[in-house]
Chains A and B, each alone.
Chain A
């Protein structure tokens, strides 16, 4: 940042000042002593391990959670919102970790939900709303999202962008983005970066919560680190090294994840697909994955990459092509989750909230849901055994929860994700299909999950990782297949590609700059 810019920033006044906030839930102290100071025109990163209390703090700021103690000032005045409406009226917008859109309504209807444009006699002005929605999406750079489409026909990342657009109906004074990039690919992320930059120029405050630390250096000015519900440190981003941030967050050193060892790749194919077509994106994909091999799949939204896992697991219609799983040919209509799960295939859905967890049930039941057959004989459950196994995984994956009996919806997002990962490990499958396996997971646990993935492969499992996180693909995979326009555009073996080459292959071209 140039010298004049820094001075300008120092002069800017504080818009949000949170101090000494405490919040206790039964069995958990989510916030012990939280502080946060955000200036106008500043992009402020809020980081911490899973369960550190970031989302709870967001809840307090936006009036959804009532703190036990603590003071807040917003725009120079005392501020204690008793409801999200109050926060909204003050000009604070939040884009949550969990999507809140109504699936069977259109994008337009969702954008204006509760704030419909009404004419005389309260009739809703549909046409005006449609026009406004389209211009808004265009202005934000989300023109690829059709305003009239029903939300449930959109991809997860498109849904997220609609959620962002909803917060941008009027320019917010403060906008909070809770893990915005967890489900976005590189192109979408850069659109969002542009949006944040323009908000910043317009003098809005931005709170950016993320587990992808490289983003901090790309767009944030200031970093606040939290740990165990407490404020740890707040400093200009440029003055903090990545390793130091990690140390402040976790109190431990996280070693770089080791590259997977190709020596364990077997000869037997666990998955062979040829000329796969799906209703929608895939137009003739062929590939094979061997035992002991970790294969990554990446591509842009709309390239068809997001349909591969779903198609293989029978959740998305296959229109043509051959599929061979674990050495056996499968007709499309035989691809059914129950059947595939029994044969030793585990699918981790990308949409944790609506397709992964059973939110009202305990951590333990969520963990063992796919492996109940193995828990006893003839369907009878060996519950002591279950308790031990779950406790073991809770510890191994560092799931932060007061007990395994806690309803999973009360866990932080990253911890829910770890439980789903445990669910997969418990089934001891021969083929893992993982969609966004580490979404919302903190740096330390990411390393744990990568290590476990490598162990699984070394023990003979085949693993498919479908991820928007290019770093993740480059870290864990033996081989990466870039998907473009429904087919393989390029294949890279371990160490062959860097991020730029990978993204350029997503665009189906040799030069990424040209394509962007």
Chain B
């Protein structure tokens, strides 16, 4: 460790005070502009509304966060590879439709299992289609996923004729929404499991390394022997599966198959990821940042609801936040 120690020695020789600044910088680069925003927001809402910090509200927030977090993790994975996915909302809707169709057709517990499988398969198919087009034909992710969003939404509307699928069995809701295992709500368990797997894939497996490398510099990655096409395909496929899971869970919660589910998810998930420090230029940002970003947006919406801000104004706020986050991202990752 000869040379490392030398450099460090040089630095400490120049006096202290630097360590705190360095630590602050690391926190900022890891989570973007999120931490200060978090603090400001938490203080503001807890003063403005007495309900905000109540245990009940916190538990609501936790449950609400589940679905959104799943989608943000999906978004973060493809963003790390240097792309993004505008079709997550549409995929969510189509998943909801296939899930409910299967569950209506096949009664009983077997139906729930089948429906869950069908929902995940739907998400996976959309992701695979995205991945195939982006990796094999080198079409830009913007065009592919924007087109895909339109195709998939259209499919959902054709299947249902625009009418939601009602009368889902109560058992579905009781298992995947209100159900619990040893006191822990099922939605929480699902998200914990997903976070665990995503963590391992991103940081303890070759796959994640390849994703980061491809996002950082696809040419260098290719030359270093990274199977770039496969990595890209797997990123979109994984994102699709995660969206599928979110779609099934969300259907259980709303209790019907909704062709219009997830309308604003694409934009919001990108906003959350960028706020959490996932760079739009790829190769940078962490899973934890993305999760924090997701929780932040859910908290914000919850707080704004509590203090009575209209949903129209909330749209403006989310949009403005996205632009703000992108600007911050630009300055922080400029190097």
B8 at the A interface (CB under 8 A): yes
**Inter-chain contact count A-B, CB under 8 Å?**
130
Question: A361-B213, A383-B204 known; A26 and B221 CB under 8 Å?
Answer: no
A355 touches B220 (CB 8 A): yes
Chain B min CB distance to A130 (Å): 30
Q: How many residues of B contact A (CB 8 A)?
A: 42
A242 at the B interface (CB under 8 A): no
Instruction: Pick the contact of B220: A356, A395, A399 (CB < 8 A).
Output: A356
A369 touches B221 (CB 8 A): yes
Chain B interface SS verdict (over half): helix
Instruction: Pick the contact of B223: A29, A347, A372 (CB < 8 A).
Output: A347
CA distance A379 to B223 in the complex (A): 19
Instruction: Pick the contact of B4: A338, A356, A401, A407 (CB < 8 A).
Output: A401
B220 touches A357 (CB 8 A): yes
B283 touches A349 (CB 8 A): no
CA distance A467 to B2 in the complex (A): 30
A380 touches B209 (CB 8 A): no
B225 at the A interface (CB under 8 A): yes
A359 at the B interface (CB under 8 A): yes
Chain B min CB distance to A412 (Å): 11
Interface string of A1-43 (1 = CB under 8 A from B): 0000000000000000000000010111100100000000000
B213 touches A354 (CB 8 A): no
Chain B residues with Cβ below 8 Å from A404 are: 4
Instruction: Pick the contact of A26: B4, B25, B283 (CB < 8 A).
Output: B25
Instruction: Pick the contact of B21: A26, A354, A383 (CB < 8 A).
Output: A26
A421 at the B interface (CB under 8 A): no
Nearest residue, chain B, Cβ from A400: B3
A358 touches B225 (CB 8 A): no
B3 touches A398 (CB 8 A): yes
B209 touches A381 (CB 8 A): yes
B224 at the A interface (CB under 8 A): yes
Within 8 A of B (CB), among A358-391: 358-361, 365, 368-370, 372-373, 375, 379-381, 383, 391
CA distance A359 to B213 in the complex (A): 9
Within 8 A of B (CB), among A63-103: none
Instruction: Pick the contact of A379: B6, B7, B206, B283 (CB < 8 A).
Output: B206
Chain B residues with Cβ below 8 Å from A427 are: 225
B8 touches A423 (CB 8 A): no
Chain B residues with Cβ below 8 Å from A423 are: 224
A355 touches B223 (CB 8 A): yes
CA distance A381 to B208 in the complex (A): 10
Chain B min CB distance to A315 (Å): 7
Within 8 A of A (CB), among B140-169: none
Chain A residues with Cβ below 8 Å from B3 are: 394-395, 398-401
A313 at the B interface (CB under 8 A): yes
Nearest residue, chain A, Cβ from B227: A338
Within 8 A of B (CB), among A212-231: 228-229
Chain A residues with Cβ below 8 Å from B11 are: 24, 27-29, 402
Interface string of B211-250 (1 = CB under 8 A from A): 0110011011111111110000000000000000000000
Nearest residue, chain A, Cβ from B6: A400
Nearest residue, chain B, Cβ from A407: B335
Chain B residues with Cβ below 8 Å from A198 are: none
A337 at the B interface (CB under 8 A): yes
Chain B residues with Cβ below 8 Å from A381 are: 204-206, 209
A380 touches B205 (CB 8 A): yes
Chain A residues with Cβ below 8 Å from B213 are: 358, 361, 365, 369
CA distance A160 to B129 in the complex (A): 42
Chain B min CB distance to A145 (Å): 23
Within 8 A of A (CB), among B23-81: 25
Chain A residues with Cβ below 8 Å from B21 are: 26
CA distance A404 to B1 in the complex (A): 11
CA distance A228 to B6 in the complex (A): 10
B204 touches A369 (CB 8 A): no
CA distance A360 to B10 in the complex (A): 24
B333 at the A interface (CB under 8 A): yes
A451 at the B interface (CB under 8 A): no
Nearest residue, chain B, Cβ from A392: B1
Chain A residues with Cβ below 8 Å from B205 are: 379-381
Q: Which 3 A-B pairs have the closest CB atoms?
A: A341-B225, A358-B216, A379-B206
8 contacts between A and B (CB under 8 A): A29-B11, A356-B220, A358-B212, A358-B217, A359-B335, A361-B213, A375-B206, A394-B3
